[in-house]
């Protein structure tokens, strides 16, 4: 189970919520000790997805991640003006 301190959780809450939505449980720590767990509600749609993942991993079809953290958590947040992607694609295609 991954863990996060309160400050880190607060600073990156949306990332942790996405991880919980995918079925992961996060231990919340304060001063190095676990004070709470953040996880999906029991019996929800996400639990079934997690069960499927575990079945595939048990069958050797997929492998569990080597690290228990989000590999993108240290990436900077990038916000581009609306239409930037479309403009870049058009330029790349020569559709100026």
Model pLDDT for residues 30-68, shown as the tens digit of each residue: 998 999 999 888 765 555 555 777 777 777 788 777 777
Q: Average the pLDDT over 13-28 and give the result.
A: 88
CATH (domain of 85): 3.40.1620.10
Domain that holds residue 23: 2-93
What is the model's pTM? 0.45
- What pLDDT sits at residue 96? 62
3-state secondary structure the chain: CEEEEHHHHHHCHHHHHHHHHCCCCEEEEECCEEEEEECCCCCCHHHHHHHHHHHHHHCCCCCCCCCCCCCCCCCCCCCCCCCHHHHHHHHHHCCC
- Count of domains for the chain: 1
21: confidence class by pLDDT, cuts 50, 70, 90: confident
């Amino acid at each position: 189970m991954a863990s996060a301190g309160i400050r880190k959780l607060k600073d990156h809450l949306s990332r942790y919520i996405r991880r919980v939505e995918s079925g992961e449980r996060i231990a919340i720590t304060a001063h190095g000790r676990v004070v709470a767990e953040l996880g999906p509600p029991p019996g929800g749609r996400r639990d079934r997805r997690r069960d499927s993942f575990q079945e595939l991993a048990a069958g050797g079809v997929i492998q569990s991640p080597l690290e228990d953290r989000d590999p993108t958590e240290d990436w900077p947040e990038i916000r581009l003006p609306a239409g930037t992607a479309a403009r870049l694609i058009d330029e790349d295609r020569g559709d100026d």
